[in-house]
Amino acid sequence: MRLRTSTSETFGVEMIKVGIVGGTGYTGVELLRLLAMHPEVTVTQITSRAEAGRGVSELYGSLRGHFDLAFSEPDPQKLAECDLVFFATPNGTAMQMAPGLLEAGARVIDLAADFRLKDTALWEKWYGMPHACPDVLAQAVYGLPELNREQIRGARIVANPGCYPTAAALGFLPLVEQGLVGTGNLVADCKSGVSGAGRGASTSMLMGEVGESFKAYAAAGHRHMPEIHQTLSWVSDSAVGLTFVPHLVPMIRGIHATLYATLVDSTADLQGLFTQRYADEPFVDVLPAGSHPETRSVRGVNHCRIAVHRPQGGNVVVVLSVIDNLTKGAAGQAIQNMNLMFGLDERRGLDQVALLP
């Protein structure tokens, strides 16, 4: 195995050679949108079996003038020439190709779930297939920078967190880390826009089906529940009990997580706790006391905005956490992880301002 740093050079500046497997979905095009403005990256491979031979800008006019590339069939040998390969693919794809790419010296960031859960049996239970490379799973680093920044810096393979788990974990972490809440009955009530379901055609995702409507789904159990549970268990001194219910709302982008916990220390300065915990985090914004963050305030950017409340001064704490599911919940966080892996400022290429209205 040979571990590379970067081998491509443009105008005397070393460039990270990047490949993207699965470049036609919403997460893939979000990666391309952000990487188009990254000064240290050159995208050399964009794969899609269904669109092989078709120009990127032909499928996505928004990228016209930014990428003079066509989609191609996934070629492990060509991908192995990259410094880093992003997988924006369905669950079960990255684990088939990651071992060979790692052996060739490339690094890997998987935006699907193949390397998120450290317990192989638990992963197989929730994803319904045998894991192809438990040895690689064991070495994968969970890519939540606000928790695992130093491990990410030295990682060869990063499991990019899910969108719901990112919003929920960032909201719960300060409380659980400090032991300020009972962890036996945490509640995550989360809402997502329709882009979270992907770009594939589906009757249930048509505007005529989701417009003017609002519903919960997977109340009996969602795949992101064990991921949230795992993250909180890493920082908790006591057993974690979690109820997680996702909802679909009629918007395109965004996740709003309303998180509930019961205080065990009624004297805690919650506003001060959150402000201090995230003071040095470039992509977590703790809002002033009494605020109610909106999903539109993070549209298209790699930010999480958080507000903490204690209704009627009681013993229940309510945390409001919003992200863009395609950016901080997927592609933006993946680029933040890439920056850390290659020794760059983690804000590199991610300094956009949210789009309003």
Superfamily name and number for 164-325 = Dihydrodipicolinate Reductase; domain 2 (3.30.360.10)
User: What integer pLDDT is reported at residue 199 of this predicted model?
Assistant: 72
CA-to-CA distance for 234 and 177, rounded, in angstroms? 9
The residues annotated as belonging to the active site are: 163
E strand spans, 39-164? 41-47, 84-87, 107-110, 141-142, 157-159
CA-based R_g, the chain, Å: 20
pLDDT values of the chain reduced to their tens digit, one per residue, 357 residues: 444 444 445 444 589 999 999 989 999 999 999 999 999 999 999 999 989 999 999 999 999 999 999 999 999 999 999 999 999 999 999 999 999 999 999 999 999 999 999 999 999 999 999 999 999 999 999 999 999 999 999 999 999 999 999 999 999 999 999 999 999 999 999 999 998 877 776 777 777 888 889 999 999 999 999 999 999 999 999 999 999 999 999 999 999 999 999 999 989 999 999 999 999 999 999 999 999 999 999 999 999 999 999 999 999 999 999 999 999 999 999 999 999 999 999 999 999 999 998
Query: Kindly report the CA angle at 167 between 221 and 284, in degrees rounded to 5?
Result: 170
The pTM assigned to this predicted structure is: 0.94
User: What integer pLDDT is reported at residue 223 of this predicted model?
Assistant: 95
User: For domain 8-139, which CATH number applies: 1.10.10.10, 3.40.50.720, 3.40.50.2300, 3.30.930.10?
Assistant: 3.40.50.720
Residue pair 292/343 in contact by the 8 Å Cβ criterion: no
Q: Pinpoint the residues of the chain covered by CATH 3.30.360.10.
A: 164-325
SS3 state at 93: coil
User: What integer pLDDT is reported at residue 2 of this predicted model?
Assistant: 40
SS3 state at 35: helix
128 phi/psi in degrees, rounded to 5: 65, 30
Kindly write down the DSSP assignment for every residue of 278-299, as one continuous string.
TTT-TTEEEPPTT----GGGGT
User: What integer pLDDT is reported at residue 100 of this predicted model?
Assistant: 98
